[in-house]
Amino acid sequence: MAAKIQEQWQHWVCPRVQLGDECRSSSDLGFTFVGELHRDCCDLTRIRAEASSCGRDSNNFESLPQRYLIRHYFENTKTTYQMLEEPSGFCLYGYLTALMVLAWHNLPEHAADALRHIYVARHLLGHYHSFDFVESSSWPVSSFLVLVNFHAGGTWIPLNSAPDYAHPGQFGPAFYYERLAWRGTAEAAKPAPGTAPFFRLPGESPPTEWRGLGSRLSQRRHLVVWQFCIHTSTAGEAVTMITRFLNDDYNIEFRGNSLATQLCANYRPSLCASGRNLHFLDWLSARFEALSAAFQCFAEIFRSASVAQAEDTSLAELSASFQQEMMPQLLEAEPRMFGCAPSLQFGVGCCGMQPSLPKLNIDSNGLPILQYVPRDDRTRFLEGFVELGMDERNIVAANNAYLAEEVAWQTGLRIPTLRIHGLHTNATYFPLRNSEVLVSRPGTSGGWQECVLDRFVDANPQYALRFVQFTNLLNPDTTEEVYNNTLSYRSLSQFRAVVGFPYDTSLMFFWEFFSMNMPTFVPFQLWHWGVFGQHTRPDLEQPRIFPDEGLVRSSLVPEEDRLPYSPFFDGFGPLDVERSVFWSKFTDWAMFPHVQYFQSVPDLMVQLTTTDLQAVSSSMKNFNEECLMKSIRAWQYVVERWLSLEAFTA
């Protein structure tokens, strides 16, 4: 029977079969079956009413606008797409099960044939596992079974799930708090701020009384924080934490120069650039991006006058332009601090200021350190990053623990983590819309979830709750979801709960909803949901640097003392389950306590009606408040470091 199923439906995966040929490589495999999945997304009532038209049943699947799946599998590959007008009878997971039965039957005598079947089964899961809802079906297979047998190389392993797989946050916040401690990082080796007894490192027990340099001042010190960025998530956190919780001790003035014009106004005081600064930084950003290898394709396809001119501009010239235009503003105010962009290449390229200036450069990274760095410059850039991180005039931190561990794996430099609390939402969980569950922006990996959720609700008409897609709250003709300012945080906090399908190791929406104490549900299988995204792009994996002679590299952590697996993952090939299981525990989804995990869509539907959500929200609130005290002390340490630096350089 399995062989018959495979023969009947193989053309849905291998179009060459219809031409009397066979698929000999992975590039020959196609995604014709997506048309059947799209058909399944359509509301049957709407189909009958609109003469077989699907309408706009899935804002995440639909071809107009091309948001996720159609765009990814067809538009981006310039492949013709046409949704089926009539059901074909193809069953995705039934076909996948047949392939695994054939693989089991062929082992061990015909290992090559078995591995071919397993690889096609993996192909059916989609890029980034975008069609991986196998656990929500009644078929006796799983993506873990597929992948573990692919990597076994000829030995059948009857495992449908990872043994003893669990998340640190299920056992409390201790694992996460260890990631927030500064002891053992590069910052711990720098001179402690204040006078004896010195101000303690973040993560250590605080002194019984304030004994830092700031406690001796009769008046609040006036600090000017000059900030610029291309995304305000990390810079906005500094503004929120310092102005709300350190205002009694310091008179801090923020001078924002953010280019994220649709986000910077979310913070008070505003971080938006304006006037001449806005025009100059916009010019600078466009030319900087054109220098990056990541933007070369963009420059070739969408060549404009400004981009074309940028090709003749070097990074050194951009840095010189920055210093000529912006440095006079920095010299106007004393004392001063500098906050740079979450894109380290953008920040370092432009923040290369005169070393004689007494300054503390705070670089809170939210992206991989090689983001935007041309390949030929990467080794030199990593060495410069290490030198910057070891310089006592700088504080280099990550806004999530995964990135901090990734930096240590790639460079041997351990940097601390400063959690983003997201208090700029100014909202808290208040479930006025108690019968509605919000589903956050899914990304490509979760583009099919809307169809799956809707079909389960259709099959259970007595179910009392309704799923509301975040993308459906937006203008239906837009694909702008991240830089959107049409929704209020208060309105989002009124849903019964939020369901997230992670498409990166950490996301701003998670921090924001968690800060609102809003019950958050995510898939338990984080080994494939939480490891794909911007933080783990495989093209940013190399090079790495290791200890060597010289003042800078001699103190780096040797390779044998770093984490054993690469933290970068390719969403297009077979996922290495051993690596992904290991690294998934460093994602925010796994480390934060009180996150609610579901094994399948039916499990999610049950939990949403049986879980004491008020108790969950209360536990989240307690954790947030406890963690907030640790973060306040960390930001106090940052400011004290600056004061000590000013005294040292005066």
In this predicted model, what pLDDT tens digit does every residue of 272-313 receive, in sequence order?
A: 888 888 888 888 777 776 665 433 333 332 233 333 333 445
CB 437 within 8 A of CB 608: yes
Pick 43 or 434 by higher pLDDT.
434
pLDDT (0 to 100) of residue 83: 75
Q: Residue 65: is its pLDDT beyond 50? A: no
The pLDDT of residue 551: 65
Q: Where does 174-236 show beta strands of DSSP type E? A: 221-229
Q: How far is CA 376 from its chain centroid?
A: 26
- For 528, the token pair is 């494939």
Residue with the larger pLDDT of the pair 239 and 629: 629
CA 233/CA 503 separation, integer angstroms: 17
Rg over alpha carbons for the chain, rounded to the nearest Å, is: 26
Q: Is the pLDDT of residue 317 over 80?
A: no
What was the pLDDT predicted at 476? 58
Three-class DSSP category at 363: strand
Q: How far is CA 636 from CA 206, 241, 447, in A?
A: 11, 10, 42
CA distance 465 to 437: 7
Question: How far apart are alpha carbons 82 and 293 in whole angstroms?
Answer: 34
Say if residues 441 and 449 touch (Cβ distance below 8 Å): no
Mean of pLDDT values over 591-613: 98
Residues 18-41, mean pLDDT to the nearest whole number = 86
Would you call 251 helix, strand, or coil by DSSP?
strand
- Name which of 111-120, 222-231, 441-450, 588-597 the model is least confident about: 222-231
Q: What sign does the dihedral 91-93-96-102 (CA atoms) show?
A: negative
At 137-188, the pLDDT tens digits run 999 999 999 999 999 988 999 999 999 999 999 999 999 999 999 999 999 9
Helix or strand holding residue 339 (H, E): strand 336-339
Q: What percent of the chain lies above the pLDDT cut of 70? A: 80
Predicted pLDDT of residue 348 = 46
- Asked if 473 and 509 touch (Cβ cutoff 8 Å), the reply is no
| pLDDT tens digits for range 335-391 | 455 555 455 444 444 444 333 444 556 666 778 889 878 888 899 889 888 988 898
The confidence score (pLDDT) of residue 99 equals 97
Whether residue 543 is predicted with pLDDT greater than 60 in this model: the reply is yes
Q: Is the pLDDT of residue 427 over 70?
A: yes
What pTM value is reported for the model?
0.88
| Average pLDDT, integer, range 456-473 | 92
450-457 mean pLDDT: 91
Local structure of residue 192 (DSSP, 8 states):
P
**Whole-number pLDDT of residue 127:** 93
Instruction: Please indicate whether residue 45 or residue 19 has the higher confidence score (pLDDT).
Output: 19
The sign of the dihedral angle between the CA atoms of 533, 535, 536, 541 is positive
Which class for 572: exposed (0-12), middle (13-18), buried (19 or more C-beta within 10 A)? exposed
> Which of 157-171, 240-254, 346-360, 418-432 has the least mean pLDDT?
346-360
Inform me whether the pLDDT recorded for 622 exceeds 50.
Answer: yes
Q: What is the pLDDT of residue 446?
A: 80
Query: E strands along 181-334, which residues?
Result: 221-229, 250-258
Pairing of strands 336-339, 596-598: unpaired
Determine how β-strand 466-469 pairs with β-strand 436-439. parallel
Examine the pLDDT at 209 and tell me if it is beyond 90: no
pLDDT at residue 250 tops 80:
yes
Give kind and range of the element (H or E) at residue 522.
strand 520-523
Please, are residues 447 and 130 in contact by the beta-carbon 8 Å criterion?
yes
Q: Which of the residue ranges 39-43, 158-162, 398-402, 490-494 would you say has the lowest mean pLDDT? A: 39-43
CA–CA distance from 582 to each of 57, 528, 563 (Å)? 37, 11, 10
Q: What is the pLDDT of residues 514-530, one digit of tens each?
A: 999 999 999 999 999 98
Whole-angstrom distance, CA of residue 270 vs CA of residue 236: 9
For residues 24 and 123, is the Cβ–Cβ distance under 8 A? no
Give the pLDDT of residue 647.
52
Q: Which residues contact 574 (CB under 8 A, 6 or more apart)?
A: 119, 122, 147, 150, 151
Cβ–Cβ under 8 Å, residues 505 and 533? yes
From the list 637, 7, 84, 52, the residue with the least C-alpha distance to 362 is 637
pLDDT at residue 554 above 80?
no
Q: Report the pLDDT value the prediction gives residue 351, as an integer from 0 to 100.
A: 46
Mean pLDDT of 481-491: 73
Average pLDDT, the chain: 82
Domain boundaries, the chain: 174-419
Task: Say whether pLDDT at 260 is over 80.
Answer: no
Rounded to 10 degrees, what is the CA torsion of 632, 633, 638, 641? 150
Give the range with max mean pLDDT: 49-58, 453-462, 618-627. Answer: 618-627
pLDDT of residue 295: 39
Pairwise CA distance, residues 356 & 354, whole Å = 5
Q: Between these two residues, 18 and 547, which has the higher pLDDT value?
A: 547
What integer pLDDT is reported at residue 331 of this predicted model? 66
The predicted pLDDT at position 311 comes to 41
Q: Is 14 helix (H, G, I), strand (E, B) or coil?
A: coil
Identify whether the C-beta of residue 231 lies closer than 8 Å to the C-beta of residue 342.
yes
pLDDT for the residue numbered 641: 84
- In the predicted model, is pLDDT for residue 105 greater than 60? yes
Q: Is a pLDDT exceeding 80 seen at residue 77? A: yes
pLDDT, residue 571, reads 92
Distance of alpha carbon 605 from alpha carbon 598, whole angstroms: 9
Q: What confidence score (pLDDT) does residue 221 get?
A: 77
For residue 196, the model assigns a pLDDT of 46
